[in-house]
Amino acid sequence: MTSVVDRTHGGAAAPPGTAASRDGWLSRWGATLAVAVVVLLRLPYLWAPMTSDEGGFLAVAAQWRRGGGSLYGSYWVDRPPLLITVYQLASQLGGLTALRLIGCGAAALTVWFSAAAAGHIAGPRARSWTALVAALLMCSPLLGALEIDGELLAAPFVAAAVLLAVRALDTGRAAAARRAAFTAGTAALAAVLIKQNMVDGAVFAVVAWGAAWWSGVVTGRRLRELLWAFSAGALSTVLAVVVWAGAHGTSPVGVFDAMYPFRVKAAQVISASGSTTDAVRLHHLVEAWLFSGLPLVVLALLWHALQDRPRQPWSFGLLAMLGFAAFSIGGGGNFWSHYLVETIVPTSVAAGLVVGRRVRLARTATVVVVVLAAVAWWTGLQLTVDAPGPATGRSLAAVAAPGDTVLSAFGDGDIVRASGLRSPYPYLWSLPTHTLDPSLRRLDGILRGPDAPTWLVVRGPATLDFLTRHTGSVVPRRYHRVGMVCGRSIYLLDGLHRPVPRQHTSCRAPVARVSLHSQW
């Protein structure tokens, strides 16, 4: 089979001291050094305040078992089961700190696989530059890469799928190609089963292999073999996760509905709400992408692809990933900064590819990205963020009695996790509430029934008005206000007596443990 990679590092071993041997050393140790760097750079953020998503997913995962009555035990969330499995592992290993360490591992693997893919395509120089770019981007607060969310945990599987897709097309042995394609399929679908929109690995494989066939590098028969093997790997991953989720009482139909039909309904709800908050977040998201310097790498990759089309199936595969990422991020609706993590793998591999191929101005563009990512990390050491959920949850934990429950209206899943209390309401996020229980009938039934929560936390006056419009006088009739923590009003069920919740920790906290003015 003809190789599609114009290798700059093949052939006989170079004698010691030559440029090729130095490139070989850089290829071997540059990626290893970058892996160490990404872990070290993430360590100051190991004890950052728990985010709403992190707290909510930990709360869901900790009680995920058969018989809870909802999709994941007693709770419902619009995420695939492999993500909840990762959080379940973190919960069993100690909670938030364990989760952050898992995030370090995910970032390190993303760097390693991305660098290996770039090195396979364009040689040692590409491997080293990709490793450097990926390491710094995976630590960038600007791209939301510090939060342990679905995008970060799916990233190593996307990078692995890219690497395996490259190997499948570049090997001359049919059996080895099929094995690589099969494993690429397992990795690509694993990413989807962590975050349902992370189809990037499959997009890369299909487009790159299709471009290779279109340019005559591979035959139609070989393309079909690769696609069949990829599909078989993907199917095996789906079946394995379905069996695992079923053992925990989670149905495949329920999972599919949560992953896709719900997201369509939720997008309609977001669009109908007309909230200016989403527009502001979109503006900040675009700004973050522009100020990261990533568009420069995209332009260099596009120039490279157009200049050398017949031999660049990888360039078109990476461009397809970036195009899909733009569509995926735009279709998310909420425009959170961590959505940009989806762009890190294709951009990092593209940076290495264009530098390795010596594309005009490629190194300058990549250096700009590296410098801006380093500045973003450095600036993040000084940041403080709002952390009302953990502070409120700890205030409740300090006064709650055994058997107490809590309901946070609406959102703030980190309150449930930090309080250590169970919620009788299955929706720990506001979007499922507004999409699946828009008239609050289910919530009204809980507030009026025997399973009414001991504690009711209300985010603000607007939330209280919404709650009152749909549940009538049930809150003033059954609850009395006992305090406020971090802008959250706290209500206690009538007839019960508990100490008044007090604020024990600040509602704002530093993102990183170190301080530039003291310890750093």
Quick: pLDDT tens for 426-471: 999 999 999 999 999 999 999 999 999 999 999 988 899 999 999 9
Whether the per-residue pLDDT at 385 is higher than 60: the answer is yes
Helices (H) and strands (E) counted in the chain, each on its own, are 22, 6
Quick: pLDDT tens for 224-274: 999 999 999 999 999 999 999 999 999 999 999 999 999 999 988 888 876
For β-strands 455-458 and 406-409, DSSP reports them as: parallel
Whether the per-residue pLDDT at 218 is higher than 50: the answer is yes
Residue ranges in 412-481 assigned as alpha helix (H): 413-419, 430-436, 441-448, 461-471, 474-478
Whether the per-residue pLDDT at 186 is higher than 50: the answer is yes
Q: What is the pLDDT of residue 5?
A: 47
DSSP string for residues in 145-163: TTS--HHHHHHHHHHHHHH
Q: Give the mean pLDDT of 158-175.
A: 93
| Residue burial 98-111, b: 16+ Cβ < 10 Å; e: rest | bbbbbbbebbbbbb
Write the secondary structure of 330-348 as one string of H (helix), E (strand) and C (coil). Answer: HHCCCCCHHHHHHHHHHHH
Whether the per-residue pLDDT at 476 is higher than 80: the answer is yes
Q: What is the pLDDT of residue 357?
A: 83
Whether the per-residue pLDDT at 310 is higher than 70: the answer is no
How far apart CA 362 and CA 341 sit, in angstroms, is: 22
CA neighbor of 127 nearest in space, from 176, 181, 166: 166
Q: Average the pLDDT over each of 55-59, 195-199, 204-208, 512-516 and give the range with the smallest value.
A: 512-516
455-458, strands of its sheet edge to edge = 406-409, 455-458, 488-493, 479-485
The answer to whether 387 and 54 are in contact (CB under 8 A) is: no
Q: Is 12 helix (H, G, I), strand (E, B) or coil?
A: coil
Q: What is the pLDDT of residue 83?
A: 97
Quick: pLDDT tens for 280-295: 888 899 999 999 999 9
Q: What is the pLDDT of residue 400?
A: 96
Give the pLDDT band of residue 26 (cuts 50, 70, 90): low
Q: What is the pLDDT of residue 215?
A: 86
Identity of the residue numbered 160? A
Q: What is the pLDDT of residue 27?
A: 59
Record the pTM: 0.92
Identity of the residue numbered 116? A
Strand partners, 489: 458, 484
* Residue whose structure tokens are 């450095």: 378
The answer to whether 454 and 404 are in contact (CB under 8 A) is: yes
Range from 120-129, 178-187, 470-479 that averages highest in pLDDT: 178-187
Q: What is the pLDDT of residue 382?
A: 85
Radius of gyration of the chain (CA): 25
Quick: pLDDT tens for 113-131: 999 999 999 988 899 999 9
Whether the per-residue pLDDT at 103 is higher than 50: the answer is yes
Q: What is the pLDDT of residue 311?
A: 62
Whether the per-residue pLDDT at 478 is higher than 90: the answer is yes
Q: What percent of the chain has pLDDT over 90?
A: 72
Quick: pLDDT tens for 31-46: 889 999 999 999 999 9
DSSP state of 188: H
Residue ranges in 248-275 assigned as alpha helix (H): 252-259, 261-273
Quick: pLDDT tens for 320-341: 999 999 999 988 778 889 999 9
CA neighbor of 412 nearest in space, from 389, 435, 381: 389
Spatial CB neighbours of 106, under 8 Å, sequence gap ≥ 6: 148, 152, 153, 155, 156
Give the pLDDT band of residue 505 (cuts 50, 70, 90): confident
Tokens at 488, concatenated: 């959250």
Mean pLDDT of the chain: 89
